[in-house]
Amino acid sequence: MELHRRFDYAALNADVDEKTIVKLCQEALKFDFFAVCVNPAWVQTAHRLIQGSNTRIVSTAGFPLGANRSDIKAAEAARAVKDGASEIDMVANIGWIKSGEFKKAENEIAEVRKSIPFNIILKVIIEASLLNTSQQIEATKAVIFGGAQFVKTGTGFSGDATIEQVTTLQSAAKGKVEVKASGGIRTLKQCREFLLAGASRLGSSSCVQIIEELKRAN
């Protein structure tokens, strides 16, 4: 798969406005990115701009802290799908993971999974930068048992993704879920390293700059 089809092009900061969403979608269409990733309030806008294209819409649940009630996350995910999202990136309850309450985390993931149609991809953000290696491994198992399709390194708000994180998650996943790297991905070199380490999707707000760097390199 070519690099541009690995990208979830993100605009998730608090100050994102409609002009930013329009630009995000226009650039995603221009470069044929796999998806745009937007907060729930912007899903309908993004859907209107990119419907009928090859680009998907990713929205969030429990973002960015993961500390919402499970039923709220499930409702948020279901509404985002109704508004036009075809993938959900939910934030796991990081406090439960840090406390060793992996079954609780698994049950929450399962609740969100059940709230959305079977053909909607669910990715679970575990904020690997806040976890030790053992917690990362157990969190990945919770993602698998909860029925999600991806484990994702982080939101980008609590630290950057690392090769070590991706390697750990890929090893723990054992091919049962895929790995998405996100947080601080700004260069072509990083993209190549993360993909080589086992990530199959990359989340970044710097996708256009990376593709331009690739064109210069070629």
pLDDT in the model for residue 62: 98
What would the 3-class secondary structure string for the chain be? CCHHHHEEEEECCCCCCHHHHHHHHHHHHHHCCCEEEECHHHHHHHHHHHCCCCCEEEEEECCCCCCCCHHHHHHHHHHHHHHCCCEEEEECCHHHHHCCCHHHHHHHHHHHHHHCCCCCEEEEECCHHHCCHHHHHHHHHHHHHCCCCEEECCCCCCCCCCHHHHHHHHHHHCCCCEEEEECCCCCHHHHHHHHHHCCCEEEECCHHHHHHHHHHHC
Q: Among all residues, which ones are annotated catalytic?
A: 89, 152, 180
pLDDT computed for residue 1 by the predictor:
66
**CATH number of the domain bearing residue 104:** 3.20.20.70
Q: Which domain holds residue 11?
A: 3-217
Supply the pLDDT for residue 142.
98
* pLDDT at residue 179, rounded to an integer: 98
pLDDT in tens, the chain (218 residues): 699 999 999 999 999 999 999 999 999 999 999 999 999 999 999 999 999 999 999 999 999 999 999 999 999 999 999 999 999 999 999 999 999 999 999 999 999 999 999 999 999 999 999 999 999 999 999 999 999 999 999 999 999 999 999 999 999 999 999 999 999 999 999 999 999 999 999 999 999 999 999 999 99
Q: Give me 158's structure tokens.
A: 């609590």
What pLDDT, in 10s, does the model give residues 18-49? 999 999 999 999 999 999 999 999 999 999 99
Name the domain count of the chain: 1
| pTM of the predicted protein model | 0.97
